[in-house]
Structure 1
Amino acid sequence: MTGVIVDGPKTAAKSFLFAHGAGAPMDSAFMQRVAEGVAASGVRVIRFEFPYMERRRQTGKGGAPDPPRVLTQSFRDAIKEAGGGRGLVIGGKSMGGRIASMVADEAGVGGVVCLGYPFHPPGKLEKTRTDHLENLRTPTVILQGTRDSFGLPEEVGGYKLSSAIRIEWIEDGDHSFKPRARSGRTEEDNIRAAIALVAEFIASSKGV
């Protein structure tokens, strides 16, 4: 990690290592809002970027995400720099949460938080990203919008998932939890609900 953003008290008992999704950086509006909200509960929140996103920031050019082996190693390195252990919960937005779930058991962290898990690419239900979730041992919470095209309730309900995984549905939310106007909910309502769920999970996390 060449750069991080840290929110919350330095002496916090629990820390949350929070990774971005495939398309937006660690200081996107979504990442900023969630990080500040969780930090307000007394958690130290650490945001970092994968190598490809750092390159985008440095060059001003686009570029596809790094290969899985690079992403997973980057997360392992970030865990080490953050201190690791049961007091550290790891996770992220979409791809960031997926990579966190892939390294959690070996890292021995306190828990995993996935905000909008990419169960499959939109419109490609056959290309699931769930194999490793069947045997995941680390306590995990997945926050998923009920309109998320990466995994709808009726689809997710048919997957074989580890008993360590808990799924919380964000009402009428899309992949970033944004609801439709006609739902009677606002994006702020759903983000606040997500923050509360994340904070509660981290507070109760003990690892395995």
Structure 2
Amino acid sequence: MRPIALPTVVDIATPAGPARAHVHRRRGARGTLIIGHGAGGGLGSVDLTAATTALAEENWALALIEQPWLVAGRRIAGPPKTLDAAWVPVVQALRRRGGALATVRGPLVLCGRSAGARVACRTAEELGADGVLCLSFPLHPPGRPGRLRAAELALVTDAGRPIAAVQGEKDPFGTPGELTAYLEQVYAVPGTHAIPPRSAAAVAAAVVRFVSPLRE
């Protein structure tokens, strides 16, 4: 899949410095998907591209967010609290009156890849998300299955919010089988923590399957 065109770029002030939103919307959008990248940075990963392309074709409004550390050209992400503190005002700014996504009706889905998925889970309650989509959720550090981050998933499931994960079959940060202990909706695709191009269609299908009931 090729990346969709994202004609509107908005810089938004946050406590950690300016973040950048790449916004794509169409008239009569069915809902809003706001997406964050991982600690490795960049918006061009296979799964992010597949998800955004698929939902643009389904007529969802989209915003891909660059965290302030990435905008500033740094190579290392900040601590979780810093990431959350930047993410929340960005989403709020996009959706408040006068924001780039203010007039979009329908559900709000927070989405992220890896560390961005953790941010989406931790902030779903505060932002009133109607669903959370995790791409390559890092359930634990590689080789350390005892250091679970399942509590972040529970923030969403315990609140009764729909949540799904699209996970590489051999992801060292947590396999689909490991995630099924905490989530009902887990979509396994070929790959590891880095999803290969051959899995783009499977990612797209999983994403569409998850969001379809949310717009009804």
Which bracket does the TM-score occupy, shorter chain normalised? 0.7 to 0.9
Whether contact under 8 Å (2:137, 2:167) holds in the other structure is yes
2:176 and 2:62 mapped to 1: Cα distance?
29
Match of 1:73 in 2: 85
Give the structure-1-normalised TM-score: 0.79
2:47 and 2:150 mapped to 1: Cα distance?
25
Quote the sequence identity (%): 26
1:133 and 1:150 mapped to 2: Cα distance?
14
Whether contact under 8 Å (1:14, 1:203) holds in the other structure is no
Q: CA separation of 1:135/1:47 partners in 2, compared to 1, >3 Å: closer, same or farther?
A: closer
2:187 pairs with one of 168, 182, 207: 168
Deviation at 1:130, TM superposition (A): 1.1
Match of 1:55 in 2: 72
Question: How many pairs does the alignment contain?
Answer: 188
1:95 and 1:200 mapped to 2: Cα distance?
23
Could you tell me which runs of 5 or more consecutive residues in structure 1 were left unpaired when the two chains were aligned: 57-61, 179-186
Q: 1:3 is paired with a residue of what secondary structure? A: strand
Whether contact under 8 Å (1:91, 1:114) holds in the other structure is yes
The one-letter code sitting in structure 1 at the alignment partner of 2:59 is G
Whether contact under 8 Å (1:52, 1:63) holds in the other structure is yes
2:155 and 2:113 mapped to 1: Cα distance?
21
Could you tell me which runs of 5 or more consecutive residues in structure 2 were left unpaired when the two chains were aligned: 1-11, 13-18, 97-104
Whether contact under 8 Å (2:117, 2:134) holds in the other structure is yes
1:14 pairs with one of 18, 31, 39: 31
Give the structure-2-normalised TM-score: 0.77
1:199 and 1:154 mapped to 2: Cα distance?
21
| Matching of residue 200 in structure 1 with residue 209 in structure 2 | yes
Whether contact under 8 Å (1:14, 1:202) holds in the other structure is no
Deviation at 1:27, TM superposition (A): 4.2
| Matching of residue 191 in structure 1 with residue 200 in structure 2 | yes
The one-letter code sitting in structure 2 at the alignment partner of 1:130 is A
